[in-house]
Amino acid sequence: MPAFTKTDFIWKNGTMMPWNEAQVHVTAHALQYGTGVFEGMRSYDSPNGAAIFRLDAHMRRFHASANAYELEIPYSIEQLSEASLDVLRANKLENAYLRPLAFFDSHSFSVWPKDCPVTVTIIAVPGKSYIEGGPEHGARVTVSTVRRIDASTLPPFVKACGHYTNSVRAVQEAIRRGYDDALLLNSKGDVAEGSGANLFVVKNGAVITNDLDASIVGGITREAVIQLATDLDLPVVIRPITLTDVELADELFFSGTAVEITPIKEVDGRVVGDGTPGPITRRLQKTFFDTVHGRVPQYHSWLSATGQTPGPTSGPTS
């Protein structure tokens, strides 16, 4: 994702404060040991103002991730949801990327975070494409030598800050090789996911993806894509994905908050299909973007809107 554009306010521990005042001490436990959890959310312009896509689902996963690390978030899902909408209003944002974050703050250097206070923030910046040109033109990826973390060591489905050193290593390797992103294999040798997105394979008209036992994050956009595909009468198959599946795919695409629905046009020099986004990917993309912009009444329940139309300082859509 390109560098973010600073905004005016960040919500921190119940207070809306100027961006530059939202500081953390260098002794914070999360900085030393990665003991934090986060979410990535997007808002889009809609007839009812800025609308966050699947806000409730994100906040429920946020709390679930925190529970996995015995990190008590002192705010309810409802409070955090309203704070997220308040951050959009305060910054006059419409199409935005939001980052809720909760972490163990400064207290001691003990690995055990006992008595470390918990800090909670919600950041919102103008939304940008995660991979430049990706949603429209497609991404080039490589199969990484870095394996995806396994459930026998860490819970892969948890969005914990420290877990993403796994993704950092994979994407560093991919960029060095000249690609946009990486595909990570799991401990079984099957394909898990990208560095920050779930993977879908399209073959013979069916939409195929894997499940939590493949060491993936339980993607909220992934869930939405499965529902959209089902409602479009596309066959959906949930099973392990092999490298052969990737090599023989008619279409491939990533799904996730940051990448939205991004076609994959090449894997390690092998062109996928004819090298352009395929018809099923395009159909799902269109339905997805119509949905997040509030143009499909069937999915209005997925949107939480501010109820006001922001001014001209709104960020660009992706």
Two structure tokens written together for 91: 């910054």
The backbone region for 260, taken as left when phi is positive above 0, alpha when psi lies in -120 to 50, beta otherwise, is left
- CATH class held by domain 9-128: alpha beta
Q: Measured between alpha carbons, how far is 59 from 116 in angstroms, rounded to an integer?
A: 22
Instruction: Specify whether domain 134-292 bears CATH 3.20.10.10.
Output: yes
**Residues 267/253, Cβ–Cβ less than 8 Å:** no
Between the alpha carbon of residue 220 and those of residues 100, 101, 198, 299, 315, the distances in Å are 15, 17, 10, 14, 23
Mark whether 188 is an active-site residue.
Answer: no
Paired residues of 303 in beta bridges = 53
- Domain layout of the chain by residue ranges: 9-128, 134-292
Active-site position among 12, 92, 128, 159: 159
Paired residues of 17 in beta bridges = 10
H helix runs in the chain, sequence order: 29-33, 55-68, 77-91, 134-137, 165-176, 220-231, 243-247, 279-292
Task: Write out the chain's pLDDT in tens, 318 residues.
Answer: 679 999 999 999 999 999 999 999 999 999 999 999 999 999 999 999 999 999 999 999 999 999 999 999 999 999 999 999 999 999 999 999 999 999 999 999 999 999 999 999 999 999 999 998 889 999 999 999 999 999 999 999 999 999 999 999 999 999 999 999 999 999 999 999 999 999 999 999 999 999 999 999 999 999 999 999 999 999 999 999 999 999 999 999 999 999 999 999 999 999 999 999 999 999 999 999 999 999 999 999 999 999 865 443 333 232
Is the alpha carbon torsion for 272, 277, 281, 283 positive or negative? negative
Residue 121 contacts by C-beta under 8 Å, 6 or more apart in sequence? 10, 11, 12, 13, 22, 100, 101, 102
**How far, rounded to the nearest angstrom, does the alpha carbon of residue 24 sit from its chain's CA centroid?**
24
Q: Measured between alpha carbons, how far is 135 from 133 in angstroms, rounded to an integer?
A: 6
Q: Measured between alpha carbons, how far is 277 from 261 in angstroms, rounded to an integer?
A: 11
